[in-house]
Structure 1
Amino acid sequence: MSFIARSYEEVVRDLLTTTTGGTTRETATVALDSEGEVEAIRLDRRPVRRISHVEERRVNLDNTEEKIRFTPADYQLIASDGSDNPDALDSLEFRKTGNKPQSGSELTINYYPLTTEPVPLTDLNVGSVTRTLMESFSRELAMSELQMEYVYNSAFLETATGASLDKVVTLIGMKRFAGGHAVATVRFNRNPSTPGKLTIPTGTVVTDADNNRYKTTSELVLEAGESSREVLVAATTPGTPEVEADALNRLETLVAGVGSVGNPKPARNLSTPESDKALRSRAKGALHGVSFGTVNALKYGVLSIPGINAVTVTEFPNDIPGEVLLDIAYGEDTPDVRAEVEEKIRKFKPAGIRVLTAEADILEVRVSVELTLAGTGVAESEIAALRAGVESAVGDYLEKLEPGGKARRAQMASQVLADTRIVDCRISLIPGEQAAVEELSLSGSQILEVIRPFDFPLIESEDLPAPLARSVVISAMLPYIPDAGTTQADAEASLQLAYDSFISSRSPSNIITVDELAAALRDDSRYALIRESIILTVEVEETFLQLSDGLGSFSPQDNDSISSGDASFSLTEGGL
């Protein structure tokens, strides 16, 4: 469950739609078919007269959320039975040539069913009693939702800030470092006789000759082949003094595989209190070390053992409640390591739970990615960041595969195509010494180790050939306010008639602009158009041109075949 506040404009839009008999905020999860296209979405209150709003809540590669609004140039209303009957329209379908949502994201849809109850309130003009009450209520509701969102976010480690974050971390016995708290950078050096991956957990204590204690603030991993790495340590108490360089050279508890430890530079005092970001990072690492009886505590407890490369946890492996299976990938398989695994399981497992262990086989996989970029591509300076984003998205997907899972082509492609700069891709997986494949199935005891960096043998720009003969489709979003005494049905019938006449009269000598359209549709006796919100979309073959008030124009050519697309007439929250 999550809570995201709506803006004032969104609240007004939804109330206007509800008041005029529409359906608001129907949600659907985006799914792809076998060909990688977005599946049509069948609406609940069908059949449907028209769709007034489609919005996607997309999670980007950096885990930030973004709201994306789609226009009629991106979608159309269809009948799921394939008929052309306008009374059977019941599904939203995204056009192959328009913008598309990301697989797995959530869509919010407002629309008007074909048949609705009579609307009791009809005077929605700006300044009317109904409109004034609606906008006043919307403002209060939007403010309440903002307050609710703040309260909701204050309860979680990832989103709490300031004093709220201080209260969250006290649940695991932590406090924010105040200004003047001593910190230092400590280097952990590998014992040359210890190969494989080493993990130094959060909270590992290092001391000096006077027993001044400092703890690591985050988990440190020495990958195979790495001889040393540095990590930030902080004094265990505010009164702990600063220490000189190379003074922190003792481990309070020996960590297998670590040969020596030391601080290359003297400790220093923090000039300001610890930031939210630093405190949040330190708390997440500490959770794995202080929690008991959870799946993550069990996993990270075993993973902290030197010589353990990876751990995968499977609940109910035999469909028996109370059983947990650990598939363990040993980097160093010795009696001492196995004994420590048993000890960690005994320490961290929940009471009454039976923990089964099995050896997971590590399958190394190399990844090759060919990319096709939109339009003329991107600048050379952006290529490195583009490749890093693709590598992060695909690599994270592969590393999260459970034993027995399958790396699917469509799912990997959706990770890559989430970047709007990329229009096509080809991903090849090379497992071990085998031939390259597009999909990869793991056995019940296998996990993947992704080799980085990826190989990018081809990054090319999209070809955009100019068509010889053109089909031109013109769609429009036409917000309006009806005049007093004019019903919504009468206003929209008049608008549709004028719009069709405008489209049919276009020729090379009659350019298409929002100004020309507004002049052709003007009818002060029935309605007033909201010119600044009018959007015209001109679809020429597989390209789109969007026109707005005072911006852009389209000149038809002699051989153009011009037709009318979707015309969306809607009441809006704006004023004249």
Structure 2
Amino acid sequence: MTFVKKSYEEIRDAILAQITKGIVNEGHIYDVDRTKYRLENAPVKSIVKVEGIMNGARHIFREGVDYKLTGDMLEWLPNGDKPDNKTLFYVNYIFGAPSGITDINPGSVTRTIVEAISREIEFLYEQLNRVYLAGFIDTASGSALDLVVSLLGISRKPPEHAAGKVTFGRSTDPPEIQVSREAHLYDGKTVYELNTLPIKSVNKVEGLSSGSLHVFQRGKDYAVVERGIEWLIEGRKPDYNTMFYVDYTAYERIKIPAGIKVSTYSPNPREAKVFVTTEER
């Protein structure tokens, strides 16, 4: 049976109802073909509360809208809410002559004692609710979750700080740097990395080829790659162990220092997460 936590108000009202000759949680099974249910104790003075399951969830029904008291019977009204078929609903009601204790107004001795007791019972319900929730993987936490997942042969990972990579962008290009005649020694490698990154464009590559000065053609002799140039297999190349020179345009490198705060976005500010960069990049 599912454990249902009760609130302080529910506990208080139930105790007060019993003190004043009331019945708490008298159970009846709802049948869609039946509208009237005779209560066990008569004469019934008034119905305090009717509670049951509607659409699979706990629901408190309204007097005069969902039901009414007819003699000593509870009668469900045609257009009101009703419990799910074949489920229990519970009725709290007052019957017979009033008991000797009639003053249950706020501030009375009876109510003050009942309210104090109800607070303690509410605390017990809270503890029982935590025990109940500790038995399910979706609601357990701490050591209780360790015990639940151990049944499946799973061990929890130790706690760690959230970490990840952040890419900073901008709506306009950064300032450009013009690099002229950056020298590289051709030693047979395919790819040569340029010194100033990131590269926007390569304007000119020249060097000695077959003993004479030659301007190499992009797409035929070389290709521009992410960090430099790559000599093509079928293209013309500088003479071995000679210098070739590259004119190119690069973007000014933007560095993000350590200690910069990066925040996620959320319509609810309390749900936004703030991270801090740990190194300069």
Scaled by the length of structure 2, the TM-score of the pair is 0.50
Work out which of the residue numbers 60, 65, 69 in structure 2 matches 1:68. 60
The separation in 2 between residues aligned to 1:164 and 1:94, in whole angstroms, is 44
Displacement, 1:94? 0.7
Aligned to 2:182: none
> For structure 1, which runs of at least 5 residues remain unmatched after alignment?
79-88, 181-576
The separation in 2 between residues aligned to 1:179 and 1:127, in whole angstroms, is 50
Displacement, 1:31? 2.2
AA matched with 2:135: A
Change in 2 beyond 3 A, CA 1:158/1:59: farther
Q: Determine if contact 1:57/1:66 at 8 Å carries over to the other structure.
A: yes
| Matched position secondary structure for 2:135 | coil
Aligned to 1:29: 29
Displacement, 1:95? 0.8
1:513-568 C-alpha deviation (Å, 9 max, x unpaired): xxxxxxxxxxxxxxxxxxxxxxxxxxxxxxxxxxxxxxxxxxxxxxxxxxxxxxxx
Q: Determine if contact 2:54/2:82 at 8 Å carries over to the other structure.
A: no
Change in 2 beyond 3 A, CA 1:134/1:27: same
Change in 2 beyond 3 A, CA 1:175/1:42: farther
Aligned to 1:155: 135
Aligned to 2:235: none
Work out which of the residue numbers 93, 106, 122 in structure 2 matches 1:126. 106
The separation in 2 between residues aligned to 1:150 and 1:104, in whole angstroms, is 30
| Matched position secondary structure for 1:122 | coil
Aligned to 1:4: 4
Work out which of the residue numbers 156, 162, 173 in structure 2 matches 1:176. 156
Aligned to 1:339: none
| Matched position secondary structure for 2:121 | helix
Change in 2 beyond 3 A, CA 1:92/1:161: farther
Q: Determine if contact 1:58/1:106 at 8 Å carries over to the other structure.
A: no
Aligned to 1:93: 75
1:312-356 C-alpha deviation (Å, 9 max, x unpaired): xxxxxxxxxxxxxxxxxxxxxxxxxxxxxxxxxxxxxxxxxxxxx
The separation in 2 between residues aligned to 1:59 and 1:101, in whole angstroms, is 8
| Matched position secondary structure for 2:106 | coil
Work out which of the residue numbers 54, 77, 83 in structure 1 matches 2:69. 77
AA matched with 1:173: G
| Matched position secondary structure for 2:104 | coil
Work out which of the residue numbers 36, 40, 43 in structure 1 matches 2:39. 43
AA matched with 1:19: I
Q: Determine if contact 1:58/1:68 at 8 Å carries over to the other structure.
A: no
1:265-299 C-alpha deviation (Å, 9 max, x unpaired): xxxxxxxxxxxxxxxxxxxxxxxxxxxxxxxxxxx
AA matched with 2:21: G
Change in 2 beyond 3 A, CA 1:97/1:59: closer
The separation in 2 between residues aligned to 1:17 and 1:8, in whole angstroms, is 14
Aligned to 1:439: none
Aligned to 1:102: 84
Displacement, 1:70? 1.8
AA matched with 2:120: E
The separation in 2 between residues aligned to 1:106 and 1:59, in whole angstroms, is 13
The separation in 1 between residues aligned to 2:3 and 2:130, in whole angstroms, is 9
Q: Determine if contact 1:51/1:111 at 8 Å carries over to the other structure.
A: yes
| Matched position secondary structure for 1:172 | coil
AA matched with 2:67: Y
Aligned to 1:15: 15
The separation in 2 between residues aligned to 1:147 and 1:58, in whole angstroms, is 27
The separation in 2 between residues aligned to 1:31 and 1:161, in whole angstroms, is 40
> For structure 2, which runs of at least 5 residues remain unmatched after alignment?
161-281
The separation in 2 between residues aligned to 1:31 and 1:94, in whole angstroms, is 11
Q: Determine if contact 1:23/1:112 at 8 Å carries over to the other structure.
A: yes
Answering whether residue 131 of structure 2 is matched by residue 137 of structure 1, we say no
Change in 2 beyond 3 A, CA 1:175/1:9: same
Displacement, 1:159? 4.4
Displacement, 1:123? 2.6
Q: Determine if contact 2:35/2:77 at 8 Å carries over to the other structure.
A: no
Aligned to 1:193: none
The separation in 2 between residues aligned to 1:150 and 1:50, in whole angstroms, is 35
Displacement, 1:179? 6.4
Aligned to 2:213: none
| Matched position secondary structure for 1:51 | strand
The separation in 2 between residues aligned to 1:152 and 1:109, in whole angstroms, is 26
The separation in 2 between residues aligned to 1:59 and 1:110, in whole angstroms, is 22
The separation in 2 between residues aligned to 1:46 and 1:123, in whole angstroms, is 22
| Matched position secondary structure for 2:113 | helix
AA matched with 2:64: P
| Matched position secondary structure for 2:50 | strand
The separation in 2 between residues aligned to 1:179 and 1:17, in whole angstroms, is 49
The separation in 1 between residues aligned to 2:49 and 2:60, in whole angstroms, is 11
The separation in 2 between residues aligned to 1:74 and 1:162, in whole angstroms, is 43
Q: Determine if contact 1:59/1:105 at 8 Å carries over to the other structure.
A: no
AA matched with 1:111: Y
1:407-486 pair list within 5 angstroms: none
Change in 2 beyond 3 A, CA 1:152/1:109: same
Name segments (4+ residues, structure 1) moved above 4 Å: 177-180
AA matched with 1:52: V
Displacement, 1:158? 5.6
Q: Determine if contact 2:30/2:85 at 8 Å carries over to the other structure.
A: yes
Scaled by the length of structure 1, the TM-score of the pair is 0.26
- The structure with the largest helix share of the pair is 1
The separation in 2 between residues aligned to 1:97 and 1:67, in whole angstroms, is 16
Count, aligned residues: 160
Aligned to 2:262: none
The separation in 2 between residues aligned to 1:147 and 1:29, in whole angstroms, is 30
The separation in 2 between residues aligned to 1:164 and 1:141, in whole angstroms, is 24
The separation in 2 between residues aligned to 1:125 and 1:43, in whole angstroms, is 27
Displacement, 1:24? 0.9
Structural RMSD (CA): 2.5
